[in-house]
Amino acid sequence: MSTKQVRVRFAPSPTGPLHIGGVRTALYNYLFARKMGGKMLLRIEDTDQNRFVPGAEAYIQEALAWVGIVIDEGAGVGGPHAPYKQSERKPMYRAYADKLIAEGNAYYAFDTSEELDAMKERLKAAKVASPSYNMVTRMQMNNSLTLPEDEVKKRLERGDEYVIRLKVPRKEEIRLNDMIRGWVVVHSSTIDDKVLLKSDGMPTYHLANIVDDHLMEITHVIRGEEWLPSAPLHVLLYRFLGWEDTMPQFAHLPLLLKPDGNGKLSKRDADAAGFPVFPLDWKDPASGDTWMGFREQGYLQEATTNFLAFLGWNPGTQQELFTMDELIEAFTVERIGKSGTKFDINKAKWYNQQYMRQLPDATLTQLLKEEADKHQATYDVAKLPLIAQMLKERLTFAKDFWIEGQFFFESPKTFDEKVAAAKWNAEAVTVIVAYKDALTVYTGVFNAENVKHVLHEVLEKADIKIGKIMQALRLALTGVGAGPDLMQLIEIVGKEEAVKRMEFALATLGEKVNS
């Protein structure tokens, strides 16, 4: 075991908005890097020029920054191994493909896509289990293994299109020791002759990834489980390139599954279930479709990060709320689970609720102000901190400030019918009329305590218990049957408004004296 510095990388391809599962992969890389005192790199894998989506790279960077990941080296940051975009590294890969060919580990292939299709059809007809370009079929195709040397040379010189394929050994067991899964053994006969260099001169993922990881001195590759099947191929490449000694260690993460447990989480699920699967809002530049993000849906960064960290990993203790520093401290690859993880938005909401409550008073007040402004409410700024305090225990998102506390800003226009039916009765009306009148003539300091005192006096005079009318009084003042302390509300809206609301309620719901 060497003692060299840990270097990990997150290597997304800019084909659209970064999926939340990708964010989790990045997070695990980051936690590991920080825990080990290593470096976190960001590399953009844009070798497929057909799938390039404008804005995707910027989205990736913004998303990572939002969840608190700091890139030490890479795209958008720079570093000793720049450039960190594979399209800009294009000239570097060719030499390695050539070396592979020179040493007999790769070959030129000139087959057209029609010929490839025909080959697959033929194999399918012959009932071959998995039709592929491999050690048996390659001898029937047009490549530098089957064509005469001068023919190959001629085609190359003529500028015929070709790809470079890996010549996978015939009979060999390829093994790798995955940090999460242990030994994984695959027979080389099940691996096909993957294209390494495409006809446009770009490397495929397989080549680019190995060359870059080597050049960038990556020590650990932490990536999604969808890469496990091609990991043996990568091991082969490290060997053929002579880099086995410094081959990184692999850790293949379990996938994020959709809530009903069938398949990978996708944007379709988000639509159906109404929750985000992207960190940030995304507007597709081609179709104009928009997808919602955690951030815009009101999830706090800390909550999202914490939630994501626990999707497939746990510290082995009972603690669930972790700051980024605590996550780094507690994180180990050994405690990453093996099985796929279903995405449970309820847990995300719970995390958000926890973090909302922990927000400093000033932040809470600011969020409340933003919500109020969003709804064009008028208010006394001095009262905002108190309102925020009263509301903080009942919110999951900042938008709940308005949902739960609209009546701090606006008089009710309608009244909850169920509550009215159940609680609006003669006794309530009697008390509300009396209370309204009492408040109107009240000249003392208008605060919750005194206002409560006035209510008790009214109640005493009418000989009615508080529990019998409280709901109706609340209905009159807020329009709904539930909410924070009523006396505080009366203090905040003020005497005039409180009286006005009671009058309106009386007028609307009727001063019915019977029943």
Partner RNA sequence: GGCCUGUUCGUCUAGGGGUUAGGACGCGUCCCUUUCACGGACGAAACACGGGUUCGAUUCCCGUACAGGCUACCA
Residues 374-433 that bind RNA (CB under 7 A): 393-394
Compute the distance between CA of residue 105 and CA of residue 180 in angstroms, rounded to an integer: 30
Contact stretch for RNA (CB under 7 A) within 32-40, 305-313, 364-372, 505-513: 305-313
The token pair that represents 24 in the structure block: 């989790």
Binding of residue 250 to RNA (CB under 7 A): no
Window 327-366: contact mask with RNA (x via CB under 7 A): --------x-xxxxxx-x-xx-xx----------------
Q: Tell me the C-alpha distance between 144 and 167, whole Å.
A: 11
Nearer to RNA, 377 or 487 (CB): 487
Q: Would you count residue 320 as binding RNA (CB under 7 A)?
A: yes
**Beta-strand (E) ranges in 3-78?**
7-10, 39-42, 73-74
Nearest to 139 by CA among 121, 119, 125: 119
Spell out, one character per residue from 83 to 122, where the chain touches RNA: x when CB under 7 A holds, - when not.
Answer: ----------------------------xxx--x------
**Shortest separation between residue 32's beta carbon and RNA, angstroms:** 17
For RNA, the binding residues in 452-511 under the rule CB under 7 A are 466-467, 470-471, 474, 481-487
Which of 45, 73, 212, 371 binds RNA (CB under 7 A)? It is 45
Asked about 267 being catalytic, the answer comes back as yes
Residue 15 corresponds to which tokens in the numbers above?
A: 């084909």
E strand or H helix that includes residue 106? strand 106-109
Task: Name the active-site residue from 99, 264, 267, 468.
Answer: 267
- Which H, E and C letters describe 75-87, residue by residue? CCCECCCCCCEHH
Among 98, 121, 161, 457, binds RNA (CB under 7 A): 161
Instruction: Please report whether residue 190 would count as binding RNA according to CB under 7 A.
Output: yes
Return the number of the residue (324 or 459) whose C-beta is nearest RNA. 459
Q: Which of residues 10-39 bind RNA (CB under 7 A)?
A: 11-13, 15
Pick between residue 340 and residue 385 the one whose CB is nearest to RNA.
340
Among 40-48, 72-80, 211-219, 275-283, which window interacts with RNA (CB under 7 A)? 40-48
Q: Decide: 300 and 330 in contact? Cβ < 8 Å.
A: no
Q: Which of 45-53, 140-148, 287-295, 377-385 is the region at the interface with RNA (rule: CB under 7 A)?
A: 45-53
Residues in the chain: 515
CA distance 211 to 469: 76
Count of residues of this chain found to bind RNA when the rule CB under 7 A is applied:
80
- If binding is defined by CB under 7 A, does position 261 make contact with RNA? yes
Does 254 participate in binding RNA (rule CB under 7 A)? yes
Q: Quick one: which H or E segment has residue 165?
A: strand 163-166
Crossing angle, helix 426-441 and helix 448-462, to 10 degrees?
130
Structure tokens at 472: 């109706």
Bridge-based pairing state of the strands 173-178 and 182-187: antiparallel
